Amino acid sequence: MTELRNVEADLSRFRARVLVASVAVLFAFSLLGARLVYLQVYRHADLNEQAENNRTAVVPIVPNRGLILDRNGVVLATNYSAYTLEITPSRVDNLEETIAALEKVVDIQLRDKRRFKRLREESKNFESLPIRTRLTDEEVARFAAQRFRFPGVDIKARLFRNYPYGELGSHVVGYIGRINQTEKEAIEEGDDEGNYRGTDYIGKLGVEQSFEQQLHGTTGVEQVETSAGGRAVRKLATNPATPGNTVMLSLDIKLQKLVEDMFGDRRGALVALDPKTGDVLAFVSKPTFDPNLFVDGIDTESWESLNESIDKPLLNRALRGTYPPGSTYKPFMAMAALQTGARSPTTLINDPGFYMFGGRRFGSPENEKGGIMDMNRAIVESSNVYFYSLANEMGVDSIHDFMKPLGFGQTTGIDINGEVRGILPSQAWKRAYFKKQEQQKWFAGETISLGIGQGYNSFTMLQLAQATAIIANNGVKHKPRLVIGTQDPVTRVMHPLPMAPAEDLGYKPENVAIIRKALLGVTQGGTSTRVFAGAGYLSGGKTGTAQAVTMAAKGKYNSAKMEEHQRDHALYIAMAPADDPKIALAVIVENAGWGAGAAAPIARRVFDYMLMGLYPSEEDMAAVQKGMAAAPIGKPRRVAEMTALLPAVNGAPAPDVVKAAAPAASSAAGQPATAVARVAVPAPPQAVARLASPVPR
Active site residues: 327
Alpha helices in 410-460 (DSSP H): 427-433, 444-450
Distance CA 63, CA 238 (A): 13
In what helix (H) or strand (E) does residue 523 lie, and over which residues does it extend? helix 509-525
The DSSP-derived string for 619-640 is HHHHHHHTT--SS--S-PEEGG
- 3-class DSSP string for 180-205: CHHHHHHHHHCCCCHHHCCCCEEEEE
φ/ψ of residue 145, rounded to 5: -70, -25
Sign of CA dihedral 82, 85, 88, 91: positive
The DSSP-derived string for 200-248 is -EEEEEHHHHHTHHHHH-B-EEEEEEE-TTS-EEEEEEEEPPBPPPEEE
Look up residue 118 and give its amino acid: R
Distance CA 314, CA 386 (A): 39
Q: Please, are residues 71 and 484 in contact by the beta-carbon 8 Å criterion?
A: yes
Distance CA 175, CA 12 (A): 89
Q: Please, are residues 427 and 397 in contact by the beta-carbon 8 Å criterion?
A: yes
Q: Please, are residues 532 and 631 in contact by the beta-carbon 8 Å criterion?
A: yes
In what helix (H) or strand (E) does residue 50 lie, and over which residues does it extend? helix 44-55
The DSSP-derived string for 336-389 is HHHHHTS--TT--EEE-SEEEETTEEEE--S-SS-EEE-HHHHHHTT-HHHHHH
User: What is the DSSP pairing of strand 175-178 with strand 201-205?
Assistant: antiparallel
Look up residue 359 and give its amino acid: G
Q: Please, are residues 247 and 67 in contact by the beta-carbon 8 Å criterion?
A: yes
Angular region, 519: left φ>0, alpha ψ -120 to 50, beta rest: alpha
φ/ψ of residue 409, rounded to 5: 70, 15
Distance CA 579, CA 570 (A): 26
| CA Rg value for the chain | 35
φ/ψ of residue 562, rounded to 5: -115, 150
User: What is the DSSP pairing of strand 56-62 with strand 678-679?
Assistant: parallel
* Torsion from C-alpha of 655, 656, 661, 663, nearest 10 degrees: -70
Q: Please, are residues 232 and 268 in contact by the beta-carbon 8 Å criterion?
A: no
- Return the closest-CA partner of residue 611 out of 645, 641, 583, 642: 583
Name the 3-class secondary structure at 453.
coil
